[in-house]
A = this chain, B = another copy of it.
Amino acid sequence: MATTAARETARVVDAGTYRVTIGAGLRHELGNLVAAAARAHHYAIVTDDGVAPHYAPAAQADLKRHGRTSVHRMPAGETHKTRDTWIRLTDDLLAAGCGRDTTVVALGGGVVGDVAGFVAATFMRGVPVVQCPTSLLAMIDASVGGKTGVDTAAGKNLVGAFHPPSAVLVDVDTLRTLPDAHRRAGLAEAIKHGAIADATYFTRVETLLPAVLAADAPATIELVARSVEIKAAVVRADERESGLRKTLNFGHTLGHALEQASGYALLHGEAVAIGMVLEARLAERLGVAERGTAAEIERVVRIAGLPSAVPGNLSPAAILDATRHDKKARAGAVAFALPAGIGTMAGAERDWAIEVGDALVLEVLS
């Protein structure tokens, strides 16, 4: 019964080589959905200590009907998105007897998805991964696009691989166990999708906000589905991030730097929220964005309960310095993906990357 109901309300978005299925209660048919997308002899569930107690036992029980299973846990949080964690998980899979005919099931938020995806990308030169995101951020953004990886002391996501999932399975019911701050953080990427590509959706995000924060299933399914559509369309147009995909980095150049400078005290979505406001201001100062763009983004960011200004304990110089390690730093200069207005990006003629001088960056950071 649950199965039928879940299937009926589910939305399916085509992301190119794989599909993103978004519904309420999908976890009750996880085994069938995973096996249909990436049949294997062994299903290795990679999850974290926060998510595991809620969802791992049922997921494992359901997958057992399709093959051998094992559960591999990592500590929760961005500080554990490291090569050390990747090594430990890889060795755990080997110890559990996983061979080439293994499918990795990433069950958790964005950090779990990135680390588990990188484990899958490099395990015996690559085994399939099915992404089962349990945070709003991961549902909306991180689980789609095939980016996997870990951080190093020098910066975020500096080590990794492109490894598209075999499927993405989104059960919006899992958001009920997500802390409120994380639900708000996830909305930052939805706001970004509206800002970079769809002014109508930007307005719709504002409308859907209260229901999504209350974990209402239909509202969340609508939000996740439209965000995934936008992201998937951009990624399909530019799988390897040589052009259009750079527009997805809006808010992320300063966002990553803020996140790193804060020692990951800021959640990714919180840092991106601040990053979008600052980068939109940068765009206005440069004259590439319509006036009022930054104010409009800041207004919706605040309604979502997200921060919009640099925390007082972070120095502008330290944040600027952290941008140097960004992957988007080319030839010693940092390039930004900047808006032209709500729903459109600037810089198409410059490959969506606009270089900005340090003085101006420091000005908006101050």
| Chain A residues with a Cβ under 8 A of chain B | 41, 83, 87, 90-91, 94-95, 97, 99-101, 121-126, 147-149, 152-155, 157-162, 325, 327-332
Q: Which of B99, B125, B158, B160 contacts A94 (CB 8 A)?
A: B158
Kindly state the separation between the CA atoms of A122 and B157 in the bound complex, as whole angstroms. Answer: 10
The answer to whether B91 and A152 have CB atoms under 8 Å apart is yes
Q: Are B327 and A99 in contact (CB under 8 A)?
A: yes
User: Which partner residue on chain B sits nearest A148 by CB separation?
Assistant: B125
- A293 to B123, alpha carbons, bound, how many Å? 35
- Contact indicator B99/A329 (Cβ below 8 Å): yes
A125 touches B161 (CB 8 A): yes
* Chain A interface main SS type: mixed
- Are B124 and A327 interface neighbours, CB within 8 A? yes
A87 to B125, CA, bound (A): 17
Inter-chain CA distance A108–B364, complex, in Å, is 48
Closest A-B pairs by Cβ, 6 of them? A94-B154, A125-B160, A124-B327, A122-B159, A41-B331, A101-B330
17 example contacts (A-B, Cβ-Cβ < 8 A) are as follows: A41-B330, A83-B83, A83-B87, A90-B158, A90-B159, A91-B153, A95-B154, A99-B329, A99-B330, A122-B122, A122-B159, A122-B161, A124-B157, A124-B327, A125-B149, A125-B162, A125-B327
CB-based contact A331/B99 at 8 Å? yes
CA distance A162 to B122 in the complex (A): 9
**Across the interface, do B94 and A152 meet the contact criterion of CB distance under 8 Å?**
yes
Neighbour of A161 across the interface among B152, B155, B161, B328, CB < 8 A? B161
Interface centre among A91, A124, A160, A332 (most CB of B within 10 A): A124
Asked if B157 contacts A101 (CB within 8 A), the reply is: no
Given known contacts A125-B161, A159-B122, A160-B125, A91 and B154 CB-to-CB distance under 8 angstroms = yes
Chain B residues whose C-beta falls within 8 Å of the C-beta of A91 in the assembled complex: 152-154
Could you say which residues of chain B place their CB within 8 Å of the CB of A153? 91
